[in-house]
Amino acid sequence: MAAAQDAKDSAARSEEKPKAAVVNIQEIFRAYYKTEDAQEQINIERARIQKQNNDLLQRIEAMDDALREARQRADDPALSEQDRKALQREIGLRFQDKELLEAERQQSVQSRHRQLNEKMVARMSGILEEIREVIRARADAAGFDFVFDTAGLNSSQVPFVLYAKDATDISTMILQELNRDAAPVE
């Protein structure tokens, strides 16, 4: 008797239309408070990198000024040959120091930007996974069989979802759930 009821329930479920919902992942991602916080932290770190770069550029510029002064002194006809040679060695050493500092600056900026980008990608991936988990939980609770991303594009840059009859847009609901722990806006 129970087997007959299970078969009847299974047949009824197979005749039901699948329930579909849609979300706009890009919209949710942009409006999620953790995304805004992450972007703010990234901007602070980028500013820190830029400030350190600017400080090094100022040091390099000061070294260039000192080199110009030394070259002008080396061109002074009143300078003895021995003093001129000593000054030329000093100019060579200062030039090497400047070139080394410039190479270090470039390498440091590239390395720090690369590290920041890796950190940013990891953080954004974590945020996207949080969003997906909330979508999965909400879809299960509401009995949706499918949830499509209306912002998703195929390889031809055409929206994946062109039409969804009777699909419920749960983007606002998902965003509210994600932002329920956000600090109140002052």
Residue 128 lies in a domain: yes
Q: Structural domain tally of the chain?
A: 1
Residue 54 lies in a domain: yes
Give the separation between CA 155 and CA 162, rounded to whole angstroms.
14
Q: Is the pTM of this model over 0.75?
A: no
Residue 122 lies in a domain: yes
- The predicted pLDDT at position 149 comes to 87
Sole residue written with tokens 């950190």? 119
- The predicted pLDDT at position 13 comes to 55
In this structure, which amino acid lies at residue 18?
P
- Predicted confidence (pLDDT) at residue 34 exceeds the cutoff of 70: yes
Residue 42 lies in a domain: yes
- The predicted pLDDT at position 183 comes to 78
- Predicted confidence (pLDDT) at residue 118 exceeds the cutoff of 90: yes
- Predicted confidence (pLDDT) at residue 96 exceeds the cutoff of 60: yes
- Predicted confidence (pLDDT) at residue 181 exceeds the cutoff of 60: yes
Residue 9 lies in a domain: no
- Which pLDDT tens digit goes with each residue over 125-179? 999 999 999 999 999 999 999 898 888 777 777 777 767 777 888 999 999 999 9
Residue 162 lies in a domain: yes
Give the separation between CA 61 and CA 57, rounded to whole angstroms.
6
Residue 41 lies in a domain: yes
Domain that holds residue 176: 17-181
Residues in the chain: 186
Nearest to 172 by CA among 31, 37, 39: 31
- Which pLDDT tens digit goes with each residue over 35-87? 999 999 999 999 999 999 999 999 999 999 999 999 998 888 888 999 989 99
Task: Identify the DSSP state of 165.
Answer: T
Identify the sign of the CA torsion 170, 172, 178, 181: negative
Residue 91 lies in a domain: yes
